[in-house]
Structure 1
Amino acid sequence: MEQKQKLLVLIGPTAVGKTKLSIQLAKRFNGEIISGDSMQIYKGMDIGTAKITEEETEGIPHHLIDIKNPDEPFSVAEFQELVRKKITGISARGKLPMIVGGTGLYIQSVIYDYQFSDAPSEPQFRESLETEAGQTGGVEKLHARLAEIDPESAERIHPNNVRRVIRALEIHHCTGMTMTEYQQEQQPDLLYQTALVGLTMDRDKLYERIDMRVDLMMQQGLLEEVESLYKAGIRDCQSIQAIGYKELYDYLDEKVSLDDAIEILKKNSRRYAKRQLTWFRNKMDVEWFDMSEPIDPEKKFAEISRFIEGKLQITANTYY
């Protein structure tokens, strides 16, 4: 029986401290990091996505960052394919592949045996939706219909990603289930020998850190970053739906004041963190580690390391 490739996955809500820990773990276990964030793939979107800087990498190789222009679409299926290739390549080099991020569906699609093309289809129904999409206002109507029956998918899928909207509607039409429910019904197996490490934190403290992070992003030039995309005509794209961008676009469109846009950004970030935790807890078999202060960083790191060593049957600085 072929041995599964080893994989470390580090997940958790925004602002919980994944980046710093990921570098420590990569050094300890001879790892290379694959971004598990669906928005860090976009060039020119650095501050708002909390993209790691070259200095912060400390020489650890990072993958799937800055691989798309902001006006290009990106799907879960494409992410799945790219990450699985990266895992194979990193393993072949004798390194430990590490996925680090917070986009639950994307990470889930990689580590479990999901086959997106296997979902039921009905060509006649799909063609009728494609015809409807080509009519005036048809794209918006299809997305509104999806929002009614499958709000979770509607939130993930931009209205202009017509192919994905239609696919979600088609799955519901054929199965009576939402796309997420259908994937859960598949009960897929883990493709890799996986250590799933989750970081959590006292909610009030986490929300405080999120608010502080937004303030820091503004100081670092988030508004100027968003303005550059705005002036370049990047609009109605999947990338601009990211938290931190859509709120400031509303300010630039003169729909809200800057102070209100920042407050909305903080609120949306807190809500997103809550959704991230709910997703991970309900849909993935995660070993959770509480990062609430006060903690002893060295003891916490040792505790996490011991879990990884046991789960993957590896020791520090030696992969196989």
Structure 2
Amino acid sequence: MKEILVVAGPTAVGKTEYSIKLAQRLDGEIVSCDSMQLYKFMDIGSAKPTEEERALVKHYLVDEIDPREPFSVAEYQKRAKAAIAQIHEKGKLPVISGGTGLYLNSLLYEMDFSSPPRKDGYRKKLELLADMQGKEAVYRLLEEKDPDAAARIHPNNTKKIIRALEAVETTGRGIPAFTEVNTPTKDYRPRLIGLTRDRGELYNRINARVEILMERGLLAEVKGLLDMGLSEDNISMKGIGYKELICYLQGEYDLDTAVAKIQQNTRNYAKRQLTWFRRYDRINWFDLSLYESSEKALEDMILWLDKNK
């Protein structure tokens, strides 16, 4: 079974820095596991690795997808597995780096993204309902038939809503939540490194990073995306930093409030990320606040990996 190294943790904890250092030390290449960094034109708000950082180690699934196009975890799994295979063919170590838990689950567990059986005419009936009465009508139907799925699926994702309704109609049961899938993958032997920091330090880093992103031109980036024809209805524009600034541009609140909301929403997201990653019983955590230097933290990570080959 081929090995992969996973570097996971909350936003702003330092995943980019340490995944690059680990990849350099271990002759690896990086596969991004971030639902925002894969989009083109969304460079600032997604806190993508810089061109200089990407020149140090080859990165995959960064800056690849047009934000106007739909993208799913199934598509991520397909592309990430292809990248991992390519890295293995080179004789190098794939380093999976990022904070999108669902994407990471798609690589660590046996997740089946095949479409549910189709019932003749039912999909067409649902598509007609969406055309005639709006996407809200099919979403309300899902809320009635499978409330759990409705709670997980965004109301604007009509394609996914219809698939979930098909599953109920053809199998009599809904699509299980991805968090309920816990059969480890047979494709890889993963070793998991979790990065964390003291909560106060992490929150300070988050607040400071948001201010830096604003200084780098996040507002202009959002305006440029809107000029390209994107709107709050695009899944890509629902990312933290983008949705708050759209509301500011629509006059819902002032810029200071928008920045404060970005900081608050990012802190809340970091909490959810930590809750998600702590479900992994095989992950080894490194509290970066306890180290006097990044070099010492890196050495401890290498030491742990050497002991757990």
Give the counterpart letter for 1:300 in structure 2: A
Residue equivalent to 2:267: 270
**In structure 2, C-alpha distance between the alignment counterparts of 1:140 and 1:40, rounded to whole Å:** 29
Q: Match for 1:85 among 77, 82, 94?
A: 82
Q: Which residue of 1 aligns with 2:213?
A: 217
Query: Does the 8 Å contact 1:153/1:168 carry over to 2?
Result: no
Instruction: Pick closer, same or farther for the CA change 1:259–1:243 going to 2, 3 Å.
Output: same
C-alpha displacement of 1:238: 1.2
Q: Please list every run of 5 or more consecutive structure 1 residues that lacks an aligned counterpart in the other structure.
A: 314-320
Closer/same/farther in 2, CA of residues 57 and 185 from structure 1, 3 Å limit: closer
Aligned to 1:110: 107
Structure 1 contact 6–96 (Cα < 8 Å) conserved: yes
Q: Using the alignment, how far apart are the partners of 1:133 and 1:68 within structure 2?
A: 27
* Cα separation, partners in 2 of 1:200 and 1:217, compared to 1, 3 Å: same
Determine the structure 1 residue equivalent to 2:183: 187
Structure 1 residue aligned with 2:73? 76
Q: 1:255 to 1:153 in 2, by over 3 A?
A: same
**TM-score, structure 1 normalization:** 0.86
Q: 1:166 aligns with which of 159, 162, 169?
A: 162
Q: Report the RMSD for the aligned CA atoms in angstroms.
A: 2.3
Deviation, 1:207, is 1.3
Cα contact 1:171–1:178 (8 A) shared by 2: yes
Q: Provide closer, same or farther for how the CA distance between residues 143 and 309 of structure 1 changes in structure 2, counting only shifts above 3 A.
A: farther
Aligned partner of 1:43 in structure 2 is 40
| Residue ranges of structure 2 left out of the alignment (5+ in a row) | none
Q: Aligned pair in 2 of structure 1 residues 202, 168: CA closer, same or farther (>3 Å)?
A: farther
- Alignment correspondent of 1:316: none
Whether 2:290 is the aligned partner of 1:301: answer no
Give distance in 2, aligned partners of 1:177 and 1:310. 43
Deviations 1:126-177 (A, max 9, x none): 554333222222x1243456575346523xx4x4432112223444664655
Identity of matched residues, %: 44
Partner-residue secondary structure (3-state), 1:292: helix
Q: CA deviation at 1:77?
A: 0.6
Q: Which residue of 2 aligns with 1:153?
A: 152
Instruction: Name the CA distance, whole Å, in 1 between partners of 2:176 and 2:75.
Output: 17
Counterpart contact for 1:201–1:290, Cα < 8 Å? yes
Instruction: Kindly indicate whether residue 32 of structure 2 is the aligned counterpart of residue 19 of structure 1.
Output: no
- The whole-number CA distance in structure 2 between the counterparts of 1:276 and 1:145 is 30
Partner of 1:318: none
Q: Is 1:201 paired with 2:197?
A: yes
Question: How far apart are the structure 1 equivalents of 2:122 and 2:21?
Answer: 51
Change (3 A) 1:26 1:130: same
- Any idea what SS the aligned residue of 1:240 has? helix
Q: Could you tell me which residue of structure 1 aligns to residue 276 of structure 2?
A: 279
**Which string of whole-angstrom CA distances, capped at 9 and with x for unpartnered residues, describes residues 246-288 of structure 1?**
1101111112211111111111111111111111112563211
Contact 2:164 2:174 in 1 (8 A): no
- TM, length-normalised to structure 2: 0.89
Counterpart CA distance in 1 for 2:182 and 2:202 is 34
**Residues 189-212 of structure 1: CA deviation (Å, up to 9, x unaligned):** 342011111111222221111111
Pick the aligned partner of 1:134 from 131, 135, 149. Answer: 131
